[in-house]
Amino acid sequence: MNQSYPAAEKLKSKKIIDLLFTEGKSVGKYPLRLVYIAHDFEDDVPLKMGVSVSKKHFKKAVDRNYYKRVLRECYRLNKSQLLAHLDQKYCFMFLYQTADRLSYQEVEEKTKQLFEKFGKTIRQENP
């Protein structure tokens, strides 16, 4: 499995991001949240992913950027687990929602649990 995060998979469209937060569904595993929506885009990739860390919890950009790097790395390494559940194209926003400073190992474990929970949710929605 290709463990990369190419530019084509990065969610950059303001319209899609707005659509995610207005009409998207969400699944969470504290302190992470995955907001998703099925969306057909032109690129030949199965999903587009964006990451976000709240300025409310981390005032310094250095801290926000660190957790964004951690989220991207956790996504990149566990992407195959997420792709196994997809039957159509999706857009995701991956959020870190606490002021707690978790270690990389804790974030990665929570990411795996979140992706499993997403898979169960998708199977229930599309039997």
pLDDT, tens digit (0-9, with 9 covering 90-100), for 66-92: 999 999 999 999 998 888 878 888 999
Spell out the domain ranges in the chain: 11-114
Question: 80: which residues sit within 8 A by CB, 6+ positions away?
Answer: 1, 3
State yes or no: cis peptide before 31, omega within 30 of 0.
yes
CATH T-level assignment (fold) for domain 11-114: Ribosomal Protein S5; domain 2 (3.30.230)
Any idea what the Cα angle at residue 107 is, between residues 106 and 111, rounded to 5°?
Answer: 120
Per-residue confidence of the chain (127 residues) as pLDDT tens digits? 578 888 888 999 999 999 999 999 999 999 999 999 998 888 888 899 999 999 999 999 999 999 999 999 999 999 988 888 788 889 999 999 999 999 999 999 999 999 999 989 988 887 6
